[in-house]
Amino acid sequence: MNIQLVSVLAASVGSVRQVIKVRVLPTDSEAAALDATLNACNSAASWLSAAMHKQRIHRKYDAHRHFYTEVRARFGLSAQPAIRVIGKVADAYASLRANVHAGGYRAPGSPRRSGMAGAPIRFRHDAAQPFDARCLSWQIPNDVGGREATVSIWTTHGRLKRVRVLAASRDLAVLRTRKIAETDLIHRDGKWLLYATVKAPQVTRINPVNGFVGVDLGIVNIATTSDGSRVSGERLNRYRRRQQRLRKRLQAKKSSSARRLLKKRRRKEQRFAFDINHRIAKRIVAEAQRTERGIAVEQLTGIRERVRLRKPQRATLHSWAFAQLGGFIAYKAQAAGVVFVHVDPAYTSQTCHACRWVDKRNRRSQEVFECGRCGFVGHADHNAAINIASRGVERWGEVTRPHAAPTLTAS
Ligand SMILES: [Zn+2]
């Protein structure tokens, strides 16, 4: 038999970007100026988009050469906002092309596809607009624990100075100490917001000299590591089943107060899962960092097709945020300099980690793994996690030796 080639999705550690969300509290006249600015920038974007589409110009450089002067003159934009508008439109066309290319808009010639590719992209009058440091600067007071700051921002009505903003003190601390790459101005549900993108400090990669921690994700056990630690899903699954029963009762009522309550419960359930995922990821990454190991997690595409379950478990699987946990681990690993790889999950639960014998019957039950060849007996998820760890080692070997032929493991 052969074990499939291990695939990798993410194996690089670079700089990590973080987005900080801040509430803007403009006065009425400041709000009017912000509103006019978003309007002008998006009218400019829609106009430019139509012009680019008509002349079949899609690259940023060409758009700049042809339309920069006109965009500024027509819409009263200063240099930086005009450049940002051109960038925004060119980026929108680039991602549209990428989507069409990837088949995101169905087959060539289909009505949807020709509709998307055939008409110019339009921008909502209040769509988000990016600002760079020249057009938006921050004044953040130096008091730890403070929540207020001010920004000065370019608008079509002139520069607004010292507009009040409100943020979590932790977020303000980040903005005070890190370099802010760019900031999006957003108007949503009557609220003004700034989304600031900051660069996290470059972290040094920890070479996985002691191998990998393998993580097996599941329903009965949310996460099992190759070290043998397990997080049971029992508490979470019980909570979810209770929420589901409550939801059914509320759904039957159909009143607006029931709808509100439903929404609240759903949010609460998401927060509950979020907290659990957050804690699991933190623990796994800390352990890998301490022991100078990388982390290997199975690639989860197609988990619904792969897992066959009894009925009561099905509901829990569909609502459980597997992808979220994988994403948290990847993100936290990257931020800590821990190497993270995705590996192919095929046969990890049927393969004996001790002698590599693959047989469906090796997995005797949900919990018990018993090898039909060497006689190894152990916890099924733990065995799978050890297999994932060794695939992580193999994968890392391939990634760090780019010119070596990929190894096809057979036994
Ligand atoms: Zn064996």
Task: Walk along the chain (411 residues) and give the pLDDT tens digit of each residue.
Answer: 222 222 222 333 345 678 899 999 999 999 999 999 999 999 999 999 999 999 998 889 999 999 999 999 999 898 989 999 999 999 888 888 776 665 555 445 444 444 445 788 899 998 999 998 889 999 998 887 889 999 999 999 999 999 999 999 889 988 988 888 889 999 988 999 999 998 777 778 899 999 999 999 887 888 999 999 998 888 877 887 888 888 888 888 878 888 888 888 878 877 888 888 899 999 999 999 999 999 999 876 544 444 444 554 544 444 456 667 888 898 899 889 999 999 988 899 999 999 999 999 999 988 999 999 999 999 999 999 999 999 999 999 988 876 555 444 332
* Ligand 1 centroid, distance to 376 Cα (angstroms): 5
* Ligand 1 centroid, distance to 289 Cα (angstroms): 30
Share of the chain above pLDDT 70, in %: 83
Interval 330-344: pLDDT, tens: 889 988 999 999 998
* Ligand 1 centroid, distance to 3 Cα (angstroms): 15
* Ligand 1 centroid, distance to 383 Cα (angstroms): 10
Supply φ then ψ for residue 212, to 5 degrees: -125, 150
CA distances from 181 to 17, 76, 85, 135, 184 (A): 9, 25, 17, 12, 10
* Ligand 1 centroid, distance to 352 Cα (angstroms): 5
Nearest CA to 340 among 372, 293, 409, 277?
Answer: 293
CA distances from 21 to 18, 24, 119, 167, 225 (A): 10, 10, 33, 7, 34
* Ligand 1 centroid, distance to 75 Cα (angstroms): 72
What is the per-residue DSSP string for 345-371? -TTTTTB-TTT--B-GGGB-SSSEEE-
Query: What six digits make up the tokens of 360?
Result: 């469906």
